[in-house]
Amino acid sequence: MMKINEIRNELLGEMYYDIDHPSGLKILLMPKAGYASTYAIFATKYGSIDTMIEMKDGSFEEIPEGTAHFLEHKLFESEDLDAFERFAKTGASANAYTSFDRTGYLFSCSGNFKENLEILLDFVQNPYFTQATVEKEQGIIGQEIDMYKDIPDWEVMFNCLRNMYHNLPVRIDIAGTQESIAQITADMLYDCYNNFYNLNNMVLAVAGNTTVDEVLEVADKVLRPVEGKMAQRKIIDEPKEVKADYCEKKLSVATPQFMLGFKENWDTPERTAKEEIAMEILLDMISGPSTDLYRRLFDANLINNSFGFEYFTGFGYSCVLFAGESNDPKAVSEEIKKEIKHFRENGFDEKVFERTKKKLYGRMIMGMNDVDGLANNMAVSFFAGEDVFTDFETYKTVTVEDIRDLLDKTLDENFSTLSVILPNN
């Protein structure tokens, strides 16, 4: 039975449709009449951290690292034209990605929307794997894995994660390793596909110049109901301590790169929207471009405009990352730790808190004009069990006391690690 709900936010003057399709697929649509383009993403709750597959009896069986990424590559193939060739004929720009916790297939177009949506839903639902094509892809992805080992931004991040985590698969390259992908077979890909790509574990999110009738016309034509449920993730034991507090590697860079990570230890596997928003505000107050710390580091030539921060969080893991270029990464690390200690001891200026909160809220409102970002945010919100307006409402509830409480629980230098990429010479 079809169920269509209109989700509105009167303050923003925005609405979207939340549709439970009879096939089992959740469809989220935010129409933007008059916009030049439309963006759609068909995503599954299956990413690189999913190295365990749930069996029928509720137990979990290990699968090779990198399988989610490998499967993403293979889905574009068919016995006839591959999906990219089909999209090229319609003029759409298509792509796909595998992240730590999801895989998405997407396109953007300024015309032929229904035709492009049909291609998207069709090829993702029709896997075609043979052992011969799997073995060919192993060579291609093996080259990709080797290539990423020479990319400084990639290596500084994964070295930091490998320093931080002992057991969690977030420490493993999204593409896996040469050894792990060598274990992948065609039968294994079909098993993973049937488990993670059932429509009950997926979402279709669309934003732009289209209508409910157009989307449902294609969905009703193409989607085939299957039995299944939302995939379950196994909680993996992880020590509180970091695995190592420092590492360095030499690559072809002009200026050293660094990433300073603060590992978090929570009792629950996922962070709430309020915790994530509070952390975003906290980090901007400590090290944003208008802070004393940023100006001090910049004036001392210890950082440049590449400096930034991220609250990196997903199922089972969360950490704070500071990164950039510096001729003295250790000095930057120490200054960041000193600034955190200063705020811990002296608290926050409430006027700065309110100003930062309003700035970030305004940035979110500006994002409502970006159809790519809107569709991706709808997909992310669905997998988090929220609606796309949750963050807007949550911002109103965050107080300076929430920020103080969060700082008391996080950014502990005893659980920090520094990853550095040095020039070859």
Work out whether the CA dihedral 303, 173, 85, 376 comes out positive or negative: negative
Query: DSSP per residue over 192-248, as a string?
Result: HHHHH-SGGGEEEEEEES--HHHHHHHHHHH-------PPP-------SS-S-SEEE
Nearest one of 102, 233, 236 to 166, comparing CA atoms? 236
What is the distance between the alpha carbons of residues 173 and 196, in angstroms, rounded to a whole number? 20
At 120, the amino acid letter reads L
Question: 382-409 burial, b if ≥16 CB within 10 A, otherwise e?
Answer: bbbebbbbbbbebbeebebebbbebbee
For the question of residue 72 being annotated catalytic, the response is yes
What is the distance between the alpha carbons of residues 75 and 189, in angstroms, rounded to a whole number? 10
Chain length of the chain: 425
Residue where the block lists tokens 């994964």? 158
| Strand (E) or helix (H) holding 169 | none
> How many separate helices (H) and strands (E) can be counted in the chain?
15, 14
Q: Which residue in the list 6, 14, 61, 72 is annotated as catalytic?
A: 72
Active site residues: 72
